[in-house]
């Protein structure tokens, strides 16, 4: 300990500061030789890094949680049996095929994507939104989820027309969808007409 009479005064020795973060400093005041000496001490907290096995375990649990979350919302319980499905197929009637068969395009048929509007029971092609006439004769029974592992999709093969269909389920209405498209087209035409008349006014 430094004797009291050997302590420097404020005029002799400037205040010494340790560290640069004011929020991390703790002041202490001591009276020595009739003078107050302020000592500022920086406090630090050291946190040891987590072991690799702890980090790996946490990452594994997170990945499993994400995987379960995804499959809980998209997976479909399906009883697909390829041999049984193949045994009941006929070249004269449309039948359901597996998603893998559609992806493989093994018969080199035309492949179309269509949408089935559940609200008004309409099946329409996606490229022109035109509805099928008597669609059950074209695609048969629509068992969404069977063979596709997706509750909103079914794949159909029609050997007579040499066509395979990817059919998407829409809970809405074809009529409402078509009306919405028609109104958008009408609005676009009106805007274009107005723009032309503004740019090229009649004299």
When pLDDT is cut at 50, 70 and 90, the band that residue 24 belongs to is very low
pLDDT for 18: 46
- Asked if 94 and 166 sit in the same domain, the reply is yes
- Asked if 98 and 149 sit in the same domain, the reply is yes
Domain that holds residue 114: 82-172
What is the count of structural domains for the chain?
2
pLDDT for 79: 84
pLDDT average, residue stretch 43-55: 58
- Asked if 108 and 35 sit in the same domain, the reply is no
pLDDT for 66: 42
- The answer to whether residue 66 sits within a structural domain is no
- Asked if 87 and 168 sit in the same domain, the reply is yes
- Asked if 18 and 92 sit in the same domain, the reply is no
- Asked if 99 and 162 sit in the same domain, the reply is yes
- The answer to whether residue 54 sits within a structural domain is no
When pLDDT is cut at 50, 70 and 90, the band that residue 9 belongs to is low
- The answer to whether residue 127 sits within a structural domain is yes
- Asked if 166 and 111 sit in the same domain, the reply is yes
pLDDT average, residue stretch 116-128: 94
- The answer to whether residue 128 sits within a structural domain is yes
- The answer to whether residue 203 sits within a structural domain is no
pLDDT for 180: 62
Dihedrals phi, psi of 175, to nearest 5 degrees = -60, -45
pLDDT for 78: 73
- Asked if 102 and 21 sit in the same domain, the reply is no
Instruction: Name the 3-class secondary structure at 45.
Output: coil
- Asked if 90 and 157 sit in the same domain, the reply is yes
pLDDT tens-place string over residues 61-77: 655 544 443 333 455 56
DSSP strand pairing (25-32 vs 163-170): unpaired
Given a contact cutoff of 8 angstroms between Cβ atoms, the answer to whether 190 and 202 are in contact is: no
- The answer to whether residue 148 sits within a structural domain is yes
- The answer to whether residue 75 sits within a structural domain is no
Q: Which residue has the higher pLDDT, 39 or 94?
A: 94
pLDDT for 186: 59
Mean pLDDT score of the chain, rounded to an integer? 74
- The answer to whether residue 53 sits within a structural domain is no
- Asked if 33 and 98 sit in the same domain, the reply is no
When pLDDT is cut at 50, 70 and 90, the band that residue 59 belongs to is low
pLDDT tens-place string over residues 140-151: 999 999 999 999
User: Which DSSP string corresponds to 87-117?
Assistant: HT--TTS-EEE-HHHHHHTTT--EEEEEEEE
């Amino acid at each position: 300990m430094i004797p009291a009479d050997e302590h420097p005064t404020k005029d002799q020795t400037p205040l010494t500061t340790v560290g640069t973060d004011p929020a991390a400093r703790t002041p202490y005041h001591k009276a020595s030789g009739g003078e107050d000496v302020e000592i500022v001490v920086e406090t630090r907290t050291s946190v040891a890094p987590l072991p690799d096995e702890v980090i790996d375990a946490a990452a594994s649990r997170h990945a499993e949680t994400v995987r379960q979350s995804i499959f809980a919302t998209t997976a479909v319980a399906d009883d697909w049996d390829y041999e049984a499905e193949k045994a009941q197929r006929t070249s004269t009637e449309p039948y359901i095929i597996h998603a893998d068969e559609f992806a493989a395009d093994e018969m080199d048929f035309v492949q179309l994507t269509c949408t089935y509007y559940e609200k008004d029971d309409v099946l329409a092609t996606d490229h022109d939104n035109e509805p099928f006439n008597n669609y059950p004769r074209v695609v048969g029974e629509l068992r969404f989820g069977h063979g596709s592992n997706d509750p909103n999709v079914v794949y159909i093969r029609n050997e007579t027309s040499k066509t395979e269909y990817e059919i998407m389920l829409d809970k809405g209405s074809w009529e409402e969808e078509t009306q919405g498209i028609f109104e958008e087209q009408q609005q676009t035409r009106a805007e274009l007409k107005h723009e032309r008349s503004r740019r090229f006014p009649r004299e």
